[in-house]
Amino acid sequence: MFGIDALIMNVEKSISAMKGEIAMSDMEKFEGFKQKLIDDNEQQYGEEIRAKYGNDAIDGSNAKVHGMTKGQYAEIERLSEEYQVALKEAFKVGDPSSELAQKACELHKQWLCYFWDSYSKEAHIGVTQMYVDDPRFTEYYDKIVPGCAVFLRDAVNIYCS
């Protein structure tokens, strides 16, 4: 069961578990968490990403998230933190071709591969261009350090060349 029905059922079970009425396993909680990630992404970006990348690509990505283990999720979190720290430090150096900037790009690629069915340099370049073109993504990356979205895009262009 996917979608809103599964999320509602998970929330209802979570409330019952908090009241002590039922026991809810960590796995059930994790399944609800993954479904919420998918649903939130669909709500916020669904229409435009489906138009841009197609239903098959987005459905495949959602299936990867749904099938993710706790260990894989922990690895995604680690990679996200590691590439953001490397990116922030590379930004201080100011050279998108620097070893540290290129390491951040490799870590970003590894992170993306947890969500994408297949990797291509063109798609990597395209997603970082979207980080610059879409103010929502620019705001997210520029919270790391102002100008970070453009820096990452430039670094990925070098990484993929």
Q: Higher model confidence: residue 6 or residue 94?
A: 94
Q: Using the predicted structure, report yes or no on whether residue 1 has a pLDDT greater than 60.
A: no
Lookup: tokens for 13: 């079970």
57 in the same domain as 124 = no
**Domain total for the chain?**
2
Residues 85 and 52 in one domain: no
| Residue that terminates a domain, selected from 68, 83, 109 | 68
Q: Are 6 and 30 in contact (CB under 8 A)?
A: no
Do 129 and 59 lie in a common domain?
Answer: no
Task: End-to-end CA distance of the chain: give it in Å, rounded.
Answer: 42
What is the average pLDDT value for the chain, to the nearest integer? 86
Among residues 11, 41, 68, the one where a domain terminates is 68
Is residue 85 domain-shared with residue 73, that is, in the same domain? yes
**Contact 156/125 with Cβ under 8 angstroms?**
yes
Domain that holds residue 57: 1-68
**What does the pLDDT read at residue 83?**
95
Q: Which of the two residues, 72 and 3, has the higher pLDDT score?
A: 72
Query: For a pLDDT cut of 90, what percent of the chain falls above it?
Result: 57
pLDDT digits (tens, 9 = 90+) for 57-110: 899 999 998 899 989 999 999 999 999 999 999 999 999 999 999 999 999 999
Nearest-Å Rg of the Cα atoms of the chain is 18
Q: How far apart (Å, rounded) are the C-alpha atoms in residues 153 and 161?
A: 12
